[in-house]
């Protein structure tokens, strides 16, 4: 039996592997379904990676390479797909040699996220060729195979600008960037950068109503302030609206938080079956890879304690409940004790108000905040403040 199996060789999984190896843990296996480890940064062929966790600036592919290099010594099984989770850390895996059954004391789920594609967004219209997501577009661009020359970009999260960068690299010119909300979701100068640097008009308050085209995309129908307009284009790139890649824990019946879309964890990164830990962007949509990598390290630190039998029994956990304008909060369960407890969440919409935490009826935290929905909200509570309590509510008034 192995000590730890890590599912997913992206920033979170590889960083967790590195921490476990450095702590002298043997029998660490990383299961990666792709032919190369490194995760999604492999295809983001522009600068912007590594600042948080490596304190250096890399391109996506260089960063992915660095993650792999730093996890040297880990047993990374490529072309290995986990097909089902069973209780107590038993995994069904598909390998090139055939199906296998793998047993580990602890399994860390680090399967990351993906963008929400057109299908799941239930967008109206036909289904021609040329509709894609940023992730798929970047992979295709890296391979020199691009299905369009003049796509529209849907959304304005940070990843939409990554799509713009890739488009410029590949020598194609998006016809517009569309954002249904009143402002760009990425950091403030984003719109200016899009217009000034890339020459791509950004249209806020603009809804995509319909995709048109028979074999290929021919146009999109837009609506702005009640006015409809048909915009000619030959492709549609759906960006962002990230979704945790959580079908394995969902199929296995591990508890899923409907608000995050990822498995519900306690403050030791444990899922509802304590043989399973979860970390990185699987936990929620979405943080940058540096944050996910550091989360991988933090989960690994708890796994080390679990291997030594130092973690409290999971049954002692109390629920954490988001309230008010808070869209979600995680960890979803906490075990009161000596160590400070870090919680992260996001607001439903742009909001100015009071963030408070109530342990039963007692106020244990309060802060005035002004927050945008895509920004992380973090708070740290002293563990002792929750001792003897039955639940914790975190409320954004």
Partner 1 sequence: MTAKSFDIALIGAGVVGCAAWRAFTLAGLSCILIEREADIISGASKGNSAILHTGFDATPGSLELACMREGYRLYREIHEPLGLPLLETGAMVVAWSEEELAKLPGIVAQAHQNGVTDVTQITAEQVRAREPGLANDVKGGVWIPGEALIDPWSAPLAYARQALANGGTLHLNAEVTSGSLTGGTWTLTIKNAAPIQARIVINCAGNFGDLVEAIARPSPFTITPRKGQFVVYDKPAHGLVQSIILPVPTARTKGIVITRTAFGNLLVGPTAEDQPERRLATTETATLNALHAAGCRMLPALAGMEITTAYAGLRPATQFKDYQIEALPAQNWITAGGIRSTGLTGALGIARHMRGLYETHFGTLKPLPSPLWPRVPNLTETLPRPHAQPGRSEIICHCELVTHDEVAAALASPLPAGSIGGLRRRTRCMMGRCQGFYCSRRVLELAAPYIPGLADA
Note the Cα 96 to chain centre separation in Å. Answer: 28
Subset of residues 147 to 166 that bind partner 1, contact rule: CB under 8 A: 147-149
Report, in Å, the least distance between residue 32 CB and partner 1: 11
Is 130 a residue that touches partner 1 (CB under 8 A)?
yes
Q: In this complex, which beta carbon is closest to partner 1, that of residue 117 or of residue 353?
A: 117
Helix (H, G, I), strand (E, B) or coil at 187: coil
User: Judging by beta carbons within 10 Å of its beta carbon (0-12, 13-18, 19+), is residue 90 exposed, middle or buried?
Assistant: middle
Is 190 a residue that touches partner 1 (CB under 8 A)?
no
Please pick, from the candidates 27, 73, 119, 201, the single residue that binds partner 1 as defined by CB under 8 A: 119
Give the interface segment with partner 1, choosing from 67-75, 177-185, 248-256, 268-276 (CB under 8 A).
248-256
Is 378 a residue that touches partner 1 (CB under 8 A)?
no
Is 215 a residue that touches partner 1 (CB under 8 A)?
yes
- Distance, in Å, from the CA atom of 280 to the CA atom of 289, rounded to the nearest integer, reads 8
Contact 137, 159 (CB under 8 A): no
Max distance between CA atoms of the chain, in angstroms, equals: 63
Is 363 a residue that touches partner 1 (CB under 8 A)?
no
Please pick, from the candidates 115, 157, 179, 295, the single residue that binds partner 1 as defined by CB under 8 A: 115
Please pick, from the candidates 83, 88, 380, 387, the single residue that binds partner 1 as defined by CB under 8 A: 83
What is the total residue count of the chain? 397
Report, in Å, the least distance between residue 229 CB and partner 1: 18
Lateral strand order in the sheet of 318-324: 333-334, 318-324, 392-396, 351-359, 362-371
Is 223 a residue that touches partner 1 (CB under 8 A)?
no
Q: Which of 90, 83, 86 is nearest to 111 (CA)?
A: 83
- What is the DSSP code (8-state) at residue 313? P
Report, in Å, the least distance between residue 77 CB and partner 1: 13
Site string for partner 1, 259-298 (x = CB under 8 A): --x-------------------------------------
- Distance, in Å, from the CA atom of 272 to the CA atom of 374, rounded to the nearest integer, reads 27
Q: Which of 184, 196, 211 is nearest to 372 (CA)?
A: 184
Q: Which of 86, 50, 44 is nearest to 69 (CA)?
A: 50
CB count within 10 Å of CB 380 equals 10
Q: In this complex, which beta carbon is closest to partner 1, that of residue 130 or of residue 296?
A: 130
Is 171 a residue that touches partner 1 (CB under 8 A)?
no
Please pick, from the candidates 57, 72, 120, 368, the single residue that binds partner 1 as defined by CB under 8 A: 120
Subset of residues 60 to 79 that bind partner 1, contact rule: CB under 8 A: 79
Is 173 a residue that touches partner 1 (CB under 8 A)?
no
Distance in Å from the first CA to the final CA of the chain: 49
E-state strands within 96-226: 98-109, 113-115, 124-125, 131-133, 151-154, 176-178, 202-203, 206-212, 219-224
- Distance, in Å, from the CA atom of 44 to the CA atom of 99, rounded to the nearest integer, reads 32
Report, in Å, the least distance between residue 43 CB and partner 1: 8
- Listing DSSP states for 106-130 in one string gives EEEE---EEE--HHHHT-EE---B-
Report, in Å, the least distance between residue 209 CB and partner 1: 8
Is 103 a residue that touches partner 1 (CB under 8 A)?
no
φ, ψ for residue 292, nearest 5 deg: -60, -40
Please pick, from the candidates 1, 24, 55, 96, the single residue that binds partner 1 as defined by CB under 8 A: 96
Please pick, from the candidates 26, 88, 126, 362, the single residue that binds partner 1 as defined by CB under 8 A: 126
Subset of residues 14 to 53 that bind partner 1, contact rule: CB under 8 A: 33, 35
Report, in Å, the least distance between residue 57 CB and partner 1: 26
Q: Could you list the residues that contact partner 1 (CB under 8 A)?
A: 33, 35, 79, 81, 83, 94, 96-99, 114-115, 117-120, 122-127, 129-130, 132-133, 135-136, 139-140, 142-143, 145-149, 210, 214-216, 234, 243, 245, 247, 250-251, 256, 258, 261
């Amino acid at each position: 039996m192995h000590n730890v199996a890590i599912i997913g060789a992206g920033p979170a999984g590889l960083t967790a592997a590195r921490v476990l190896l450095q702590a002298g843990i043997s029998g660490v296996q990383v299961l990666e379904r792709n032919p190369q480890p490194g995760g999604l940064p492999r295809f983001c062929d522009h600068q912007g990676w590594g600042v948080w966790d490596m304190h250096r600036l890399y391109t996506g592919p260089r960063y992915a390479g660095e993650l792999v290099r730093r996890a040297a010594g880990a047993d990374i099984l490529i072309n290995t797909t986990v097909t089902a989770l069973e209780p107590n850390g038993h995994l069904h895996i598909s390998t090139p040699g055939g199906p296998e059954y793998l047993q580990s004391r602890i399994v860390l789920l680090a399967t990351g996220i993906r963008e929400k594609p057109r299908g799941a967004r239930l967008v109206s219209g036909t289904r021609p060729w040329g509709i894609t997501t940023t992730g798929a577009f970047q992979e295709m661009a890296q391979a020199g195979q691009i299905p369009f020359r003049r796509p529209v970009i849907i959304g304005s999260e940070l990843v939409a600008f990554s799509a713009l960068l890739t488009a410029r690299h590949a020598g194609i010119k998006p016809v517009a960037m569309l954002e249904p909300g009143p402002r760009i979701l990425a950091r403030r100068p984003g719109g200016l950068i899009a217009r000034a640097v890339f020459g791509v008009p950004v249209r806020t308050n603009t809804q995509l109503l319909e995709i048109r085209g028979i074999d290929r995309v021919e146009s999109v129908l837009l609506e702005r302030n009640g006015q409809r307009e048909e915009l000619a284009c030959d492709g549609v790139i759906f960006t962002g609206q990230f979704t945790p890649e959580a079908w394995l824990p969902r199929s296995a019946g591990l508890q899923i938080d409907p608000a995050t879309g990822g498995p519900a964890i306690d403050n030791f990164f444990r899922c509802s079956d304590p043989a399973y830990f979860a970390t990185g962007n699987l936990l929620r949509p979405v943080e940058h890879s540096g944050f996910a990598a550091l989360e991988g390290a933090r989960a690994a630190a708890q796994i080390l304690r679990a291997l030594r039998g130092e973690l409290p029994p999971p049954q002692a956990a109390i629920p954490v409940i988001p309230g008010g304008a808070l869209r979600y909060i995680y960890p979803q369960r906490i075990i009161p004790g000596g160590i400070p407890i870090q919680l992260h969440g996001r607001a439903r919409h742009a909001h100015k108000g009071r963030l408070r935490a109530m342990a039963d009826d007692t106020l244990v935290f309060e802060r005035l905040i002004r927050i945008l929905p895509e920004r992380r909200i973090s708070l740290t509570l002293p563990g002792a403040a929750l001792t003897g309590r039955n639940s914790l509510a975190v409320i954004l008034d």
